[in-house]
Amino acid sequence: MVNKKVTTKGVITSIHGAVVDVKFLDELPKIHNTIIVQTKDKVRLEVFEHLPDHTTRCLAMGTTAGLSAGLEVRDTGDGLRVPVGTELLGRIVNVFGDVVDGGPEIKTEESWPIHRKSPSFVETKHSTEIIETGIKALDFLTPFVKGGKIGFLGGAGVGKTQLVTEIIHNTTMRHKTNSVFTGVGERTREGNELYVSLKDTGVLPNVAIVLGQMNESPAMRYRTPNTGVTIAEYFRDTMNKDILLFIDNIFRFIQAGAEVSTVLGRIPSETGYQSTMDSELGDIQERIVSTEKGAITSVQAIYVPADDFSDPAIQAIFSHLDSVVVLSRKIAQQKIYPAMDALASSASVDSEVLGEEHSQTLLESLKVLERYRSLQNIIAILGVDELSETEKTTVSRAKKIIKFLSQPFYTAEKFTNTPGVYVEKDDTVKGIKEILSGKYDDMSDEPFYMIGKIEDAMLKWEKIKNGGK
């Protein structure tokens, strides 16, 4: 689709930080239209709202340093468009689709507007197919349903991004899935580490990366998810592919929206966030769906401010998720990765999709883990010896399950010096079922830590009994 001819001219009347007011002599540009400021660096503005006196209020998609009242602008007659296609795989672009990895310019046959309508209810499709990640804790406790939305919740430093990169690696290597990674509010260090990690593990050619960095204007971070979703929609709608969309971090998107709302002079809600938070989040989330053509399965890392899960932004995100993976600082401090809190995490997957064996084993294991948690205060005060024999067995099995659900990651090999493993879901279910049955009651929980299949625990136990030989 060719952009409309550029005809409408305007003049900047005022600049307030990232907000620029522009007066037009002729027809007012439409909301979301891109306006170009005639300067050396070609500053882009996005029309955000119409004001009286034939004026538009625009968001600066970049720095406003050097702009001044009286500068001439031109309406492009179209919204912000980004290149879409397989050419983006293996590359890093910004919110405009411009290359930021130092490589050659990307040339694609098509470019799509980043503001698109979500599929109608009739067009959407609900899937019951589970996507295996090869990560035991995820596949057992919170299975991923194709076309669903999965949230990784946790504070800083609990392993959200590490888990995201491991899923990208495993789904690419095992299922040849293409992915779109959208970094909202990424630090330069984080973006670089992601790029190097994906490159070292050989999966970069299957991943398109969009970065809206923390040092960029709030408008750019605010629109970064739109660019990522648009690229994913192309794979779904035009190429009929199932695609994984990673958003890290969706909380930063809400933060950017709050910054934009502040510079626009809007009164915040009583919670401190922008009054439009729910609708802004809904506009993005409603585009992430499955259709007859393909599925977009979304994995969203969610920073929890001050580890407060009652935060209004976190509650708003919760309402859109199918699966919730809670990463715990206490578990991370025990060096158990992924640091997943089994009792706080959940997935809206019924027993028919899971299968009878998986569903029953999951229920039994959660009962054991719940009982273990309720006994921890008693153990801390009186010690394990004061428990009954039945409760001692429960504690022992719970510890084994917790450690068995830890796992060495491929993307962390250079830090741990331990080869990563991919474990099929059926092997995970089998292992936990055997632990619950009492098959390993005569073993300590040590051999179950950071292994793959349950058979590896037996091999490790033999080494421990033989003095490490």
| pLDDT tens-digit readout, 116-160 | 999 888 888 887 888 899 999 999 999 988 888 999 988 777 888
pLDDT at 16: 87
Catalytic residues: 160, 186-187
DSSP-based three-state secondary structure for 105: coil
Say if residue 379's pLDDT is above 70: yes
What's the pTM value of the predicted model, to 2 decimals?
0.89
Rounded CA-CA distance 463/446 in Å is: 12
Q: Which residue has the higher pLDDT, 325 or 3?
A: 325
Rounded CA-CA distance 31/27 in Å is: 12
Say if residue 376's pLDDT is above 90: no
- Average pLDDT score over residue span 224-240: 94
248 near 128, Cβ under 8 Å? no
375 near 423, Cβ under 8 Å? no
What is 132-162 written as a DSSP string? P-S-HHHHHHSPEETT-EEEEEE-TTSSHHH
Structural tokens at position 211: 């970065």
Rounded CA-CA distance 201/106 in Å is: 24
Which residues, 6 or more positions from 65, have their beta carbon under 8 angstroms from its beta carbon? Answer: none
Structural domains in the chain, sorted by start: 9-79 (2.40.10.170), 83-349 (3.40.50.300), 354-465 (1.10.1140.10)
Rounded CA-CA distance 337/136 in Å is: 11
368 near 398, Cβ under 8 Å? yes
Rounded CA-CA distance 317/302 in Å is: 9
Residue reference for tokens 């980004």: 82
- Average pLDDT score over residue span 212-231: 90
pLDDT at 197: 84
Structural tokens at position 199: 């490159």
48 near 80, Cβ under 8 Å? no
CB atoms within 10 A of CB 43: 21
128 near 353, Cβ under 8 Å? yes
pLDDT at 38: 77
Residue reference for tokens 């499709």: 125
Say if residue 6's pLDDT is above 60: no
pLDDT-based confidence at 468, cuts 50/70/90? low
pLDDT at 4: 46
pLDDT at 64: 85
- Helices 425-437 and 356-382 sit at what angle, rounded to 10 degrees? 50
Helix %, strand %, coil % of the chain (to 5): 40, 20, 40
Say if residue 1's pLDDT is above 70: no
Say if residue 47's pLDDT is above 80: yes
Measured in degrees and rounded to the nearest 5, phi and psi for residue 29 equal -65, 155
- H helical segments located in 202-304: 218-237, 250-263, 277-285
Distance of CA 103 to the CA centre of its chain: 26
Q: What is the pLDDT of residues 336-375, one digit of tens each?
A: 889 999 999 988 877 788 889 999 999 999 999 999 999 9
139 near 425, Cβ under 8 Å? yes
By C-alpha distance, which of 20, 67, 27, 70 is closest to 47?
A: 20
Residue type (1 letter), 127: S
**Averaged pLDDT of the chain:** 88
Q: According to the 3-state scheme, what is the secondary structure of 33-61?
A: EEEEECCCCCEEEEEEEEECCCEEEEEEC
Q: What percent of the chain has pLDDT over 90?
A: 48
Say if residue 2's pLDDT is above 60: no
DSSP 8-class letter at 250: H
Structural tokens at position 2: 């060719």
Say if residue 24's pLDDT is above 50: yes
Say if residue 262's pLDDT is above 60: yes
pLDDT at 7: 58
Rounded CA-CA distance 52/56 in Å is: 8
For the chain, the residue count is 469
Residue type (1 letter), 281: L
Rounded CA-CA distance 284/127 in Å is: 20
179 near 245, Cβ under 8 Å? yes
For 201: left if phi > 0, alpha if psi spans -120 to 50, otherwise beta; the answer is alpha
Rounded CA-CA distance 128/242 in Å is: 14
pLDDT at 3: 46
- Average pLDDT score over residue span 29-58: 89
